[in-house]
Chains A and B, each alone.
Chain A
Amino acid sequence: MTQDLHALARMLMELDDQMVACMKCGMCQAVCPVFAETMREADVARGKIALLENLAHEMIRDPQGVQEKLNLCLLCGSCAANCPSGVKVLDIFLKARVIVNTYLGLPPAKKAIFRGLLTKPALFNSLLDLASKFQGLFTKPASEVIGSSCARIQAPIIGERHFMPLAKKPLRKIVPSLSTRPGKSGYRVALFPGCVVDKIFPNVGQAALKVLQHHEVGVYLPAGQGCCGIPALSSGDKDSFDQLVLHNLELFEKEHFDYLLTPCATCSATIHEIWPLMSGDKKESLRDRIQAIASRTMDIGQFLVDVLRVAAPAAGTGVRVTYHDPCHLKKSLKVSEQPRALLRSNPRVEFVEMADADRCCGCGGSFNLQHYDLSKEIGTQKRNAIVAAKADVVATGCPACMLQIADMLSQHGDRVAVKHFIEIYAEAL
């Protein structure tokens, strides 16, 4: 065992150069949503980095204890965005999760999901199609404004959640594939809708297509897209992540495009930042290919505002709309003004800011599944801010945030609709 720990320590020492930059000032405590709830030092970036350092220096004997702490993190990047010494916290945590997971092994349930399902998009999709047909048997509608459901009978996975049901018809059934030429705009983009848009919010994908068509942007939407890989990677499963990257890379390399767009903040950040970050162990030629796609990947709102320069401000009245900044858009990609500009350009929208619009909603992907109570406490604060803003609609740029916010609002019986900003922009066209 000691011999093994030595090996683990050696692997973690690869992160030493990045970890040593943490000067332990503790400023991450001000912004960490998990720490705000638990107030335990091991839950904030400084504490986690100290644990990893001590594990790397063989001062800690229980790697499992460190892994538990490492997993209690939304990977929202609030700490990194607020770090005075610019520590690349997400890089460290993602790589550490891979290292610790490689050492301790993947839990069987995750192994089954990632290796057996997620990496096989065709199988994954057909299974969910089947589930979409039967979901009504176990669930019932919860909120008509939000469109959420809750459990009909006691079901351990659903618990008390108010979740968005699987779409009757996923996006890939509505628009299986697309390859159009650019019109007046002169641009051609590839569209990566992402799993949640495809399976739960196909309307977001349709709105994105409508907007692109309206602005005469050529679209390449290949069939058979896989997950961006972040659920596997954040659980430390680099093999599944690598498979998904390669699968998508080969698919998108088939045609030419100027930008790869997604309406999902998490997918954008993953492809733009995490794909190259995790490609260090690949051959140079593959690294270059990954970089070529990553550097052209951006959020759809960013493309519309920064590249096409649409969205002239209109002093709108009517529906009160507020905006929640997804962490992966604002903190990872520094995109926060563009979605607001799109919302403000709709003449039927009265835009209002909520307090702490860039505070994490508490979803954090699988964090929500593993630590639902904590996720709910953090999400309730977001719900309170939305309600305090007296908004009719809360818009955001990430379908994962949409799921979490819908759950929180629906459980409180709030009549606030949850939409993607692209839907609201599309409505005005």
Chain B
Amino acid sequence: MISSSLLAAFQTLLGKENVLDSEADRHSYAYDAAVLDPVVPELVLRPTTSEQLGKTVALCYENDLPITVRGAGTNLSGGTIPSKEKGVVILTNSLNKIVEINEQDLYAVVEPGVVTAKFAAEVAKRGLFYPPDPGSQAVSTLGGNVAENAGGLRGLKYGVTKDYVMGVNFWNTQGEYVKSGGRTVKCVTGLNISQLMVGSEGTLGVFDQIILKLVPPPVASKAMLAEFDNIDGASQTVAAIIANKIVPCTLELLDNATIKYVDDFTKAGLPRDAAAILLIEVDGGHAALVEDDAAKVLAICKQEGARRVVLAKDAAEKNKLWEARRNALPALARARPTTVLEDATVPRSQIPAMIRAINQIAAKYRLQIGTFGHAGDGNLHPTILTDRRDKEEFHRVEQAVDEIFDVALSLGGTLSGEHGIGLAKAKWLEKETTRATILYSRTIKKAVDPKYLLNPGKVIGG
């Protein structure tokens, strides 16, 4: 229990309305989007200024309260589930100012609670582009995106969140202000702490301001949809496109199971017998160049055995082509009560092997699995449809997930392309790395967080 004097101290610091301690409020911060058991925090705090944030962190640390920072709570690996003992949640959604968008120097400074899509829209209004587009961008926060190194559909061509982080300023456990990185393209001042913060999942410091890189937007784009009779054809197409020195901004794949679920849901008349669909979009700074690339990609699709390719003529047609991809998750999510969305990632040449393995695993454990994802960067989303209330079935789900990770690692891949390790995957980390990697990471953590109170248990366990 948190003492009444400490509670009063938080209330004085933040104002009563920003200290949430009622049972109902606390229960609504016990989970995130991962399929894991909720953990109810002791207290939920909402600082509204940078200074309050620093003091809140220091006060929690002084009083041995484990801190979990939460933006929109869309994490898929349990990174925002509070600690079991005396867990405190610090909300960033009142720290939601875009401090600066600099059109001359192509950067922006934001507070951690700014919503990704709102930021991207503000940037677009000024004729600039912030490319990272995680699936949850309509609600996810930039602080969360940086802490998880979030990806998205544009990863292949434009990279992921880490490629846009120029600086991170944060509070350490003592409530002291740490600055890292800067506003210049080139900056080698000090250790590259900003990039250490990227993907640190709240274990090393509490973000206060983030400096993000902006780029000029593409002026033209062209989308097409290709159907394949076998998954190898789709995969060879991906390889051939890249071998031809074309980097599409989107290269999305839907496997046969997903196609069927989407068709059941939308009744859009999708090719139910196709082994895979590829949704390909090329973009660039010059319309003629994009036309050219689109024509080349079209030819490659046919040459690699696509049985049908549809090229969108205008924005309306493009929107229609995207519909199947947009409906992938909604269709899968509706099929069964519980949706376990994984993000095992393999080198792109291994996609056919990975999808075959996933289908074998589905058969072996008698599970429904639909796979879709980012074929260009090998980041697949095997999505297991189940009911977590059915203990026997859910046990098979857990076994299947174990096996999916084993296969991904054996193909030279990784546990997580973009969802993070959090609580859900911490136990597999050693399999991909080494014991020494984990101990090295823990040594770093212990040095900056000797009491182990910054989102303890996440990523590196301990």
A interface, CB within 8 angstroms of B: 16-17, 20-21, 23-27, 29-30, 39-42, 47-48, 50-51, 54, 59-62, 65-66, 68-69, 84-86
Alpha-carbon gap, A122 to B435, bound state (A) = 79
Interface size on B, residues (CB 8 A): 36
**Given known A20-B388, A24-B32, A24-B33, contact A68–B136 (CB-CB < 8 A):** no
- B302 CB within 8 Å of chain A: no
CB proximity of B424 to chain A, nearest CB, Å: 13
**Given known A20-B338, A27-B139, A59-B27, contact A85–B33 (CB-CB < 8 A):** no
CB proximity of A345 to chain B, nearest CB, Å: 25
- B249 CB within 8 Å of chain A: no
> Which residues of the partner chain A approach B28 to less than 8 Å between Cβ atoms?
40-42, 47-48, 50-51, 69
| Contact assessment for A26 and B33 in the assembled complex, using a CB-CB cutoff below 8 Å | yes
- B74 CB within 8 Å of chain A: yes
| Contact assessment for B72 and A60 in the assembled complex, using a CB-CB cutoff below 8 Å | no
Nearest A residue (CB) for B91: A39
Q: Interface 1/0s, chain B 27-63, versus A by CB < 8 A?
A: 1111111010010100000100000000000000000
Alpha-carbon gap, A40 to B139, bound state (A) = 13
Partner of B25, one of A23, A42, A61: A42
> Which residues of the partner chain B approach A17 to less than 8 Å between Cβ atoms?
337
- B364 CB within 8 Å of chain A: no
Alpha-carbon gap, A42 to B279, bound state (A) = 38
> Which residues of the partner chain A approach B93 to less than 8 Å between Cβ atoms?
39
| Contact assessment for A39 and B29 in the assembled complex, using a CB-CB cutoff below 8 Å | no
**7 residue pairs A–B, Cβ–Cβ below 8 Å:** A20-B387, A25-B74, A25-B136, A26-B72, A42-B27, A62-B24, A65-B24
Q: Interface 1/0s, chain B 364-394, versus A by CB < 8 A?
A: 0000000000000000000000011100000
> Which residues of the partner chain B approach A68 to less than 8 Å between Cβ atoms?
24
| Contact assessment for B29 and A41 in the assembled complex, using a CB-CB cutoff below 8 Å | yes
> Which residues of the partner chain B approach A85 to less than 8 Å between Cβ atoms?
330, 333-334, 339
CB proximity of B16 to chain A, nearest CB, Å: 14
CB proximity of B108 to chain A, nearest CB, Å: 21
**Given known A23-B339, A30-B138, A50-B31, contact A40–B333 (CB-CB < 8 A):** no
| Contact assessment for B333 and A23 in the assembled complex, using a CB-CB cutoff below 8 Å | yes
| Contact assessment for A41 and B24 in the assembled complex, using a CB-CB cutoff below 8 Å | no
Q: Interface 1/0s, chain B 123-137, versus A by CB < 8 A?
A: 000000000000010
CB proximity of B194 to chain A, nearest CB, Å: 27
| Contact assessment for B33 and A25 in the assembled complex, using a CB-CB cutoff below 8 Å | yes
| Contact assessment for A26 and B38 in the assembled complex, using a CB-CB cutoff below 8 Å | no
Instruction: Give the residue among A20, A41, A47, A68 with the most B Cβ atoms within 10 A.
Output: A41
Alpha-carbon gap, A24 to B31, bound state (A) = 8
| Contact assessment for A41 and B73 in the assembled complex, using a CB-CB cutoff below 8 Å | yes
**Given known A47-B28, A50-B30, contact A65–B22 (CB-CB < 8 A):** yes
Alpha-carbon gap, A30 to B32, bound state (A) = 16
- B94 CB within 8 Å of chain A: yes
| Contact assessment for B72 and A29 in the assembled complex, using a CB-CB cutoff below 8 Å | yes
B interface, CB within 8 angstroms of A: 20, 22-25, 27-33, 35, 38, 40, 46, 72-74, 91, 93-94, 117, 136, 138-139, 329-330, 333-334, 337-339, 387-389
| Contact assessment for B27 and A29 in the assembled complex, using a CB-CB cutoff below 8 Å | no
Alpha-carbon gap, A70 to B137, bound state (A) = 27
Alpha-carbon gap, A316 to B94, bound state (A) = 45
Nearest A residue (CB) for B135: A25
Alpha-carbon gap, A48 to B330, bound state (A) = 21
Nearest A residue (CB) for B327: A84
CB proximity of A49 to chain B, nearest CB, Å: 10
Partner of B27, one of A23, A39, A51: A51
Nearest A residue (CB) for B387: A20
| Contact assessment for B25 and A40 in the assembled complex, using a CB-CB cutoff below 8 Å | yes
**Given known A39-B93, A85-B333, A85-B334, contact A26–B73 (CB-CB < 8 A):** yes
CB proximity of A2 to chain B, nearest CB, Å: 15
CB proximity of A98 to chain B, nearest CB, Å: 19
Nearest B residue (CB) for A70: B24
Partner of A39, one of B40, B94, B339: B94
> Which residues of the partner chain A approach B23 to less than 8 Å between Cβ atoms?
60-62, 65
Partner of B24, one of A16, A20, A66: A66
> Which residues of the partner chain B approach A66 to less than 8 Å between Cβ atoms?
24
> With contacts A26-B33, A54-B27 known, what are 13 further pairs, Cβ within 8 A?
A20-B388, A23-B333, A24-B32, A27-B136, A27-B138, A39-B94, A41-B25, A41-B28, A42-B28, A47-B28, A65-B23, A69-B24, A86-B330
> Which residues of the partner chain A approach B25 to less than 8 Å between Cβ atoms?
40-42
CB proximity of A176 to chain B, nearest CB, Å: 47
> Which residues of the partner chain B approach A51 to less than 8 Å between Cβ atoms?
24, 27-28
Nearest B residue (CB) for A48: B28
> Which residues of the partner chain B approach A20 to less than 8 Å between Cβ atoms?
337-338, 387-389
Alpha-carbon gap, A119 to B338, bound state (A) = 42
> Which residues of the partner chain B approach A59 to less than 8 Å between Cβ atoms?
27, 40
Alpha-carbon gap, A42 to B20, bound state (A) = 11
| Contact assessment for B33 and A23 in the assembled complex, using a CB-CB cutoff below 8 Å | yes
| Contact assessment for A26 and B27 in the assembled complex, using a CB-CB cutoff below 8 Å | no
Alpha-carbon gap, A407 to B389, bound state (A) = 48
CB proximity of B315 to chain A, nearest CB, Å: 18
> Which residues of the partner chain A approach B74 to less than 8 Å between Cβ atoms?
25-26
> Which residues of the partner chain B approach A69 to less than 8 Å between Cβ atoms?
24, 28
**Given known A20-B389, A23-B338, A59-B27, contact A40–B330 (CB-CB < 8 A):** no
Alpha-carbon gap, A305 to B249, bound state (A) = 42
CB proximity of A59 to chain B, nearest CB, Å: 7
CB proximity of B146 to chain A, nearest CB, Å: 18
Nearest B residue (CB) for A20: B337
Nearest B residue (CB) for A25: B33
Nearest A residue (CB) for B337: A20
CB proximity of B94 to chain A, nearest CB, Å: 7
Alpha-carbon gap, A22 to B6, bound state (A) = 36
CB proximity of A121 to chain B, nearest CB, Å: 37
Alpha-carbon gap, A224 to B92, bound state (A) = 54
> Which residues of the partner chain A approach B333 to less than 8 Å between Cβ atoms?
21, 23, 84-86
Alpha-carbon gap, A85 to B329, bound state (A) = 8
Nearest A residue (CB) for B113: A39
CB proximity of A215 to chain B, nearest CB, Å: 33
